[in-house]
Amino acid sequence: MPLMNTAFAPGKCRETVEAMASGPRRDIAAAEYHYFTGRPEEAAKEAEAYLTSPDMGARLSACLIYAYANLSIGEIQRAEFALGELNAALTAAGQQSPQFQAAAAFIAATGAVLLHLPLPEEMPEAKSFLPLLPPGLRAFALYVQAHYLYLKQEYGHSAGIVEATLAMGAAAYPIPAIYLHLVAVMDYMSMKQTDRAEAHLLKAWEIARPDDLIEGFGEHHGLLGAMLEAVIKPKWPEDFKRIIDITYRFSSGWRRVHNPKTGHDVADDLTTTEFVIAMLAARDWTTQEIAEHLKISANTVKTHISEAMRKLHVENRKDLKQYMLL
């Protein structure tokens, strides 16, 4: 993942890719650029050429990009093929150099954790491979670790990793930095520390907007505690619409992989607004707290929750949890 591992000033992403020497590194960076700017069709096409590359770094990177791009395109078999290749690479990594083993572990963990799937059985402990990764990939690997701790509801621990990683220089790498700030939003919203969550969201947005690196916002929408609706939508309504388009495309593919593999029936027939409000309700936010957070009336909140419960055929807020990303 050469672009992820490159430090560049916000607004210089495309220029950074174009300045790379011709070859696999530049081609993969271009696929990353198109993926992170919400153009999965282009990303998948560029990554596909390297799925069987003898350059294992390019091959692993291509498989990860190809898997996630195809979720948004709706090509689920292709996405699952690429995810399988990541796990196969991890299984075979024992015969390779320590650096390759670290790269394989990083890529396989990223493929599993972001889909909220169990880690592969061959996965080594993070502390064994993190030191072997270059700085940008290490920063993103720590985002993956923070995301994993979030899924285990260890919100304070997760937020601590994010804050420490950013303090130690990860902010120089825009793509990992965006994702680190987003998982911090998830953590602080889970702890009802909305001011800290908003600060991290705005920092992520400040980094992302000059290069249009908005894919991560769409990917994380349902986990951000309606913070996009509260902060981005009022000031940047057109950007918000694009993020929601990404959310619908990505989440549709995400569920088609996640739900069958885990048996967790994450809701797929709610609007994005219904989903985020139902998420907050399932996390025991009161109607008034949700209303104040989104600056809408309590009656509007009740209407959205009632509609979500009607669509999901449940009778109380407690039963919403089985359909949410909790």
- Encoded amino acid at 238, one letter: E
The whole-number pLDDT of residue 100 equals 72
- Taking residues 302-315, report their average pLDDT: 87
The whole-number pLDDT of residue 33 equals 97
The whole-number pLDDT of residue 129 equals 80
The whole-number pLDDT of residue 238 equals 96
- Taking residues 23-49, report their average pLDDT: 96
d(CA 175, CA 7): 9
pLDDT confidence bin for 264, thresholds 50/70/90:
low
Residues 99, 100, 106, 109: is their CA dihedral positive or negative? negative
pLDDT confidence bin for 34, thresholds 50/70/90:
very high
The whole-number pLDDT of residue 117 equals 80
d(CA 300, CA 279): 15
Question: Count of CB atoms within 10 A of residue 78's CB?
Answer: 18
Predicted TM-score (pTM) of this structure: 0.90
Query: Over 90: is that where the pLDDT of 222 sits?
Result: no
Residue whose entry in the numeric block shows the structure tokens 């220089």: 169
Query: Over 70: is that where the pLDDT of 326 sits?
Result: no
Residue whose entry in the numeric block shows the structure tokens 């993190």: 130
Mean pLDDT of the chain: 89
Q: Which residues, at least 6 apart from 46, have a Cβ–Cβ distance to it below 8 Å?
A: 27, 28, 30, 31, 34, 65
pLDDT confidence bin for 65, thresholds 50/70/90:
very high
The whole-number pLDDT of residue 95 equals 62
pLDDT greater at residue 326 or residue 296:
296
Residues 189, 194, 199, CA angle at the centre, nearest 5°?
105
What is the SS3 assignment for 67? Answer: helix
